Structure 1
Amino acid sequence: MADPTANAHVEVAAAPELVYRLITDLDTLARLSGELEGGEWIDEAGSPEQGMRFRGANRNGDKTWTTVATVRAAERGRRFAFDVDDADTPVSHWEYELRSTEQGCVVTERTWDRRPSWYTSVSAEVTGEADRDAANQRNIEATLRALKLEAERQ
């Protein structure tokens, strides 16, 4: 896979298993995220598993849109990844990687823009964001700061 189009990491003084639970709980992730406002599992969810799908409700200013994501990796305490598609059009791949440390873990969040070139103007109109890579970078950094605070508070 090519280099991610946006990514950041943060050291968290909390166990990777706790952090994993936070990022795979859609309500918590929505609370921590810059654009995600809420989510619901489309497929029956006890805990996320590869192949399961969820719907995300997103907002950027006065623009709102929904997405459908398919879980590509669900390795408890290690990795959570999913693809976002618009019907048959690939949009993005997102990944959270957790690496244990003596003090807790390092969390890396990455995304890869998978949109075909013809789709970028459609996406900009729907989301109100012409520079998706810059917006994703800002959102990742904000999400990781909020995740660190939440995990260390628990």
Structure 2
Amino acid sequence: MNQTLTTDTVERVLHALPEDIYTLVSDITRTPELSPEIIRTRWIRGATGPEVGARFLAVNSLGGIWTWPNFPVVIAAEPGREFAISRTEPFFGTLEWRYTFFSQGEGSTLVRESYTVTRPLTRAAWFMIEKLIGSTDRAGELRAGMTTTLGRLAELVERPVPPPQR
């Protein structure tokens, strides 16, 4: 059990406005379209959209039979600038996931997805990750997942809009 998680960041320039990208990223009901690990989401406890303090249910999977729920809370919701959540799970610590948007002019935006571990995973969590799930490079998997997420986000926001039919 030599794995550790601290922080990581992936960036990509998308040909879309920051506000449009924010709208898609902050709509957690669409997260399963973007993330390779999240299979279901829904707002809970009366929340209906992205605002600081709103909670949602997320169900994650690493493939196979292993799925688990978690209950993130929105910690930043600034349209066109930043969307962030904090996810705490027993034994699995606390991770803050953050999207920040930087206008590049002419309809392009630098999107930065990152995570920061604010409370580390326990030894029991690492045992489960390595022995039960078979993950020996969790940091690498998270980085690959962020890269996939930004790729899927690009596909959604950069789709050409067909002209209206006459």
Mark yes or no: TM-score above 0.5.
Answer: yes
Identity of aligned residues (%): 29
Query: 2-side partners of 1:111 and 1:11: how far apart?
Result: 18
Q: Which has the higher helix share?
A: 1
- Answer yes or no: is 1:65 the counterpart of 2:71: no
What code does the residue aligned with 1:105 have? Answer: T
Q: Indicate the residue corresponding to 1:43 in structure 2.
A: 45
Q: Indicate the residue corresponding to 2:32 in structure 1.
A: 30
1:124 offset after TM fit, Å? 4.4
Q: Indicate the residue corresponding to 2:13 in structure 1.
A: 11
- Answer yes or no: is 1:146 the counterpart of 2:152: yes
1:19-72 deviations in Å (ceiling 9; x for gaps): 011111123221111101110111323421111111101111212111110111
What code does the residue aligned with 2:100 have? Answer: E
Structure 1 residues 92-107: aligned runs within 5 Å: 92-102=95-105, 103-107=107-111
Contact 2:40 2:58 in 1 (8 A): yes
Larger mean CA deviation between 120-129 and 48-57 belongs to 120-129
Runs of 4+ off more than 6 Å: none
Q: Which has the larger radius of gyration?
A: 2
Query: 1-side partners of 2:98 and 2:85: how far apart?
Result: 7
Which of 83, 86, 94 lines up with 1:83 in the alignment? 86
TM-score (norm 2): 0.81
What code does the residue aligned with 1:151 have? Answer: V
Structure 2 unaligned regions, length at least 5: 162-166
Query: 2-side partners of 1:32 and 1:49: how far apart?
Result: 20
Contact 1:60 1:128 in 2 (8 A): no
Structure 1 unaligned regions, length at least 5: none
Structure 1 residues 124, 12: CA separation in 2 closer, same or farther (over 3 Å shift)? same
1:74-133 deviations in Å (ceiling 9; x for gaps): 111110111111158633110000111113211000012332342322444675534221
Q: What is the SS of the residue equivalent to 1:101?
A: strand
Which of 98, 108, 111 lines up with 2:112 in the alignment? 108
